[in-house]
Structure 1
Amino acid sequence: MSEPINSAALETRAAELVDLARKAGADQADAVVVRGRSRSVSVRLGKVEGTESSESDDFSLRVFVGRRVASVSANPGFDLRMLAERAVAMAKASPEDPYAALADEARLARTIADLDLFDPTEVPTEALSEAALEAEAAALAVPGVTNSSGAGASAGMGGLVLVTSHGFSGAYMGTRFGRSVSAIAGEGTRMERDYDYDSTLFFADLRASAEIGRLAGERAAGRINPRQVDTQKNVTVVFDPRVARGFASHIASAINGAAVARKTTFLKDSMDKPVMKAGIRVTDTPQIRRGPSSRPFDGEGIAGEPLTVVEDGVLRHWLLSTSTARELGLETNGRGVRGGPSVNPSSTNFALEPGEMSRDELIKGVGTGFYVTELIGHGLNMLTGEYSRGASGFWIENGEITYPVSEVTIASNLKQMFMAVTLADDIDRSFGTAAPTLAIEGMTLAGK
């Protein structure tokens, strides 16, 4: 990408907006600019199918009049005074919200940490096309691969400008580069699909296009001629890291403070209780240098501290923004993110920390089971924890991965799944949600 766009002008405009809101009658206010720049190329069967480019600076103003709050959004070029007056008028007509407020002034970040999130590398559109074409060609060269679902490459940057009426002003930017390919193996009704991708903050850290394509092709070819297996209970299911990251995201959702406040999570009454096996740790760390989801401050101006949200299997923290913390009688831990005008809690660099055995040792210890490489559908109820997903992967016999399996369903309840996890040591921290290969005992498998 080019050099970071100077945010000073946007900070000045946001500060003017906050000042005008105060003059219009707001007791407090904050203004946010969410920045985005991106370019992407998609290809299929050796031809460029599309190129996309986008730029945006989306402004949001939030105002407080007593216990009443309102938010408005606008694109660049809007009239500052008109927007501020509109927001205040909306707040005066809104019902009271006892929990909405700016973050405690004493908690605001006083310095903006440099987390090395921006790569100035400029990647021309032609280079994106070449990378996508190379990845697809490598996939098509794998024996057994018969077609392509397409490949892509992208480069972008995004960030946040935040100004509040009680003294915070800051901005940060980060970059993101990506490559992906999806390959098809087999013929007719026996075709199988698989994929590979990579996404990094720094261009030099991307895996080679040829490697991504080769791995996607090998994965697809390895799934040819799948079998079905008999319906059975008490199956040990092993989640490939690609799938395990989704399992870790269920943990993050279950401990989200907004879900706790709404009572829509099955862990709502589990604080300071065992929710996973003894010895298991789950962490959330906002300020990892070059971390994929790092940020120097959250959407309310707070520099969040590292949290061990699950320690030795015991739940120790919710993910909290200011409003959800107030509703729960707690203090924010700096996990607020801006979703347009609103602020909601979310994870940062979230990790289901690894165990001590290797992936091969874990699979060998399973003996007989099911190794999942892909999940289908959204059969998850966060209120009850009920879990049911279509799945494909490979059967494990005598501690070895053997033949491919498809058209099965795995089911259990997340409460039991959380308590039945065994972790390998092969965590990949290049994703915002990270988890190693993991095994879950006692699941039900519905097959033929």
Structure 2
Amino acid sequence: MSSYIDSSELTERTSRIVEVAKKAGADAADVVVSEGVSQSISVRDGQRENAQASENRGFSLRVFSGNRVASVSTNTDDDIDALVERAIAMANVSPVDPYASLADTERLARDVPDLELYDETEVSPEKLAERALAAEAAALSVDGVSKSSGAGAANGRVSFALVTSDGFSGGYRRSFSSISASAVAGEGTAMQRDHDSDGRAFDADLFAPEEIGRRAGERAVRRLAPRQIDTRHGAAVIFESRLAASLIGHLASAISGSAVARKTSFLRDKMGKQILTSGLNITDDPGILRGAGSQPFDGEGVKSDRLTMVEDGVLQHWFLSTALGRELGLETNGRGSRAGNSLSASPTNLIMEPGDKSQEELMAGIGTGLLVTELIGQGVNMITGEYSRGASGFWIENGEIAFPVSQVTIAGNLKDMFMAMTPASDIDRRFSIACPSILVEGLTLAGR
């Protein structure tokens, strides 16, 4: 993989842009820059299907003129003067924003801790191809798998730097490696497909490609010969861990400061109130070593500390940037996030703490219900909390898996679902939303 500028050199170049902006008349300014490289290989039927490599660089300059702010982006810093001139001209004609400003200097991070986010390991395209082929071969070796839907492997690195006119200057690097496989079981209209994958900051932490392929194949075979179930109300549903993360993702969206400020969240009036079952805790921790969502500082240079977002079922915090905090009469909690020219607020490593029962014990406890292994569609209304999504999985009878099911619609309201959650003990901490399987009781299942 080709080399690229490290974070310290990016910081130096970014500082020059801020200096030019201040000299040109900006009251304040900050610049975010990222530069990275990535490569990926996909295979199908034992042959390389696609190979991609990319290099990218992006500069985003934000300038303030009184209570007006504007941002511009570019992929090069060859003409800093023109970039600054355009940004200041835009700021001068922008509407007044009483909340926009740089972060308060006392909230800025004073050091950049090493969170072990960067792996120096070089992975060649040939090695990526070997991994993808090994994952596919393992999937095809599973009894009942009829063909491959493909497998892939990827690797990449990115450097970030942020400099503000108020004195913050910092940068860090991230790396990633991933492997995925998708398998098909059965033939014709009876075919079933499933997948598995892994992604890590450090290449050596990845599951073996053979394990990923095997799991993809086994998951596909388990789904053969699904049945439909009758419509029923008040049903118990267990969302397996990787799908339960979507429920916690909906909660994260609902407690985003931007959704609260714009009154587009069904939890906008729930601060300090019970939103989950008593005893449940959800934390957001940016300081986890090698964490998928870890960061030494946020998109404004603010120190990001561990927060208990929900404690004993009670909502304690919104995700806030400086501007969102001011709009809501609060202070930033270091969750400012940059995406191009926009600055919002989002979680880092969001974790629902596990319970003390395994998924099997939860099944035994409910006796009858649905284990969900796939969700379909995006039927969630974040203003009202109404939830309706297609699903497939396995029907549970007498506390054990009885048969696969498909063509089911799960319906409920997230406010009620959150209050009816019981987490299992099988937490998966690989991803930025880490949670165990979750039992939700009292849902409607629409079938035949």
What TM-score bracket applies, with the shorter chain setting the length?
A: over 0.9
Give runs of aligned pairs for residues 62-101 of structure 1, distance below 5 A.
62-101=62-101
Q: What do the CA deviations read for 1:161-182 (whole angstroms, capped 9, x no partner)?
A: 0000000000001111000011
Moved over 6 A (4+): 1-4
Equivalent residue letter for 2:82: M
Determine whether 1:32 maps to 2:29: no
Equivalence map 1:291-302=2 (5 Å)? 291-302=291-302
Q: Distance in 1 between matches of 2:159 and 2:293?
A: 11
1:55 matched to which residue of 2?
A: 55
Gap regions ≥5 residues in structure 2: none
Deviation at 1:328, TM superposition (A): 0.4
1:145 corresponds in structure 2 to: 145
**Letter aligned with residue 191 of structure 1:** M
Residue identity opposite 2:313 in structure 1: G
The alignment's TM-score, normalised by the length of structure 2, stands at 0.98
3-state secondary structure, aligned to 2:279: coil
Q: Note if contact 2:6-2:159 (Cα within 8 Å) is conserved in structure 1.
A: no
Corresponding residue for residue 198 of structure 2:
198
Give secondary structure in 2 for the equivalent of 1:259.
helix
State the alpha-carbon separation in 2 of the partners of residues 50 and 4 from structure 1.
24
Correspondence for 1:315: 315
Task: Output the amino acid matched with 2:133.
Answer: L
Instruction: Read off the aligned partner of 2:59 and give its amino acid letter.
Output: F
1-structure distance, mates of 2:192, 2:95: 54
Partner residue, 1:165: 165
Report what 2:352 is aligned to. Answer: 352
Q: Distance in 2 between matches of 1:361 and 1:4?
A: 50
SS in 1 for 2:189: helix
Query: Does structure 1 conserve the Cα–Cα contact (< 8 Å) formed by 2:7 and 2:160?
Result: no
- Asked whether the equivalents of residues 2 and 120 of structure 1 are also in contact (C-alpha less than 8 Å), the reply is no
Residue identity matched to 2:247: F
Report SS of the residue matched to 1:115: coil
The separation in 1 between residues aligned to 2:159 and 2:304, in whole angstroms, is: 17
Q: Deviations over 1:166-203 (max 9, x none)?
A: 00000001111000011001111010000000001111
Letter of the 1:136 counterpart: E
SS of residue paired to 1:12 = helix
> Does the CA-based 8 Å contact 2:241-2:437 persist in structure 1?
yes
Determine if contact 2:4/2:37 at 8 Å carries over to the other structure.
Answer: no
Amino acid in the other structure paired with 1:54 = S
The more displaced of 164-173 and 354-363 is 354-363
Partner residue, 2:208: 208
**What is the alpha-carbon distance in structure 1 between the residues aligned to residue 401 and residue 365 of structure 2?**
12
Displacement after TM superposition at 1:5 (Å): 4.0
Q: Quote the residue 2:263 is aligned against.
A: 263
The corresponding residue for 2:103 is 103
Q: What do residues 258-303 of structure 1 show as CA deviations (whole Å, max 9, x unaligned)?
A: 1000110000000000001000001100111111110100000011
Query: Match of 1:332?
Result: 332
Residue correspondence of structure 1 range 176-255 to structure 2 within 5 A: 176-255=176-255
- What amino acid does structure 2 have at the position aligned with 1:10? L
For 1:318 and 1:352, locate their aligned partners in 2 and report how far apart those are by CA, in whole Å: 16
1:2 positional shift: 7.8
Assess if the C-alpha contact under 8 Å between 1:4 and 1:173 holds in 2.
no
AA paired with 2:336?
A: G
1:383 aligns with 2:403: no
The alignment's TM-score, normalised by the length of structure 1, stands at 0.98
Question: Residue by residue, what CA displacement relative to the aligned partner does 1:379-408 show, whole Å, maximum 9, x if unpaired?
Answer: 000000000000000000011012000011
CA distance in 2, matches of 1:149, 1:99: 49
In the alignment, which residue of structure 1 is the partner of 2:19?
A: 19
What is the rounded CA distance, in whole Å, between the counterparts of 2:285 and 2:9 in structure 1?
30
| RMSD value, Cα | 1.1
Q: Residue 63 of structure 1 aligns to which amino acid in structure 2?
A: V
1:362 Cα deviation from its structure 2 partner: 1.1
Residues 194 and 219 in structure 1, CA contact (< 8 A), matched pair in contact too:
yes
Give the counterpart letter for 2:369 in structure 1.
G
Q: Partner letter of residue 307 of structure 1?
A: L
CA distance in 2, matches of 1:95, 1:291: 39
Aligned-residue offset at 1:35: 2.3
1:2–1:121: 8 Å Cα contact kept in structure 2? no
State the distance in 1 between where 2:122 and 2:12 align.
Answer: 28
**What is the one-letter code of the residue matched to 1:407?**
Q
Q: Match of 1:445, as an amino acid?
A: L
Partner of 1:115: 115
Checking the alignment, whether the CA contact within 8 Å between 2:18 and 2:164 is kept in structure 1 is yes
Output the CA distance in 1 between the equivalents of 2:78 and 2:443.
Answer: 55
For each residue in 1:413-440, what CA deviation from the matched residue of structure 2 results, as whole angstroms up to 9, or x when unmatched? Answer: 0000000001111101111001101100
In the alignment, which residue of structure 2 is the partner of 1:447? 447
- Measure, in 2, the Cα distance between the counterparts of 1:10 and 1:117: 17
SS at match of 2:303: coil
Equivalent position of 2:6 in the other structure: 6
In 2, Cα distance between equivalents of 1:345 and 1:315: 17
User: 3-state SS of the aligned residue for 1:35?
Assistant: strand
- Write the deviation string for residues 217-244 of structure 1: whole angstroms up to 9, x where unpaired: 0110110100000000000000001111
Question: Do 1:281 and 1:308's aligned partners in 2 also have CA atoms closer than 8 Å?
Answer: yes
Of all paired residues, the percent bearing the same amino acid is: 59
Match of 1:102, SS state, is coil
What letter is aligned with 2:282?
A: V
Deviations 1:345-403 (A, max 9, x none): 01100011111112211111011000000000000000000000000000000110120
Is the 8 Å Cα contact of residues 181 and 195 (structure 1) preserved in structure 2?
yes
Cα displacement (A) at 1:78: 3.2
Quote how far apart the aligned CAs of 1:143 are: 1.1
Amino acid at match of 2:445: L
C-alpha contact (below 8 Å) 2:5/2:35 kept by paired residues: no
Deviation, 1:6, is: 2.3
| Higher mean displacement: 8-17 or 24-33 | 8-17
8 Å CA contact retained: 1:4, 1:118:
no
Contact 2:102 2:300 in 1 (8 A): yes
CA deviation after TM superposition for structure 1 residue 3, in Å: 7.9
Gaps of 5+ in 1: none
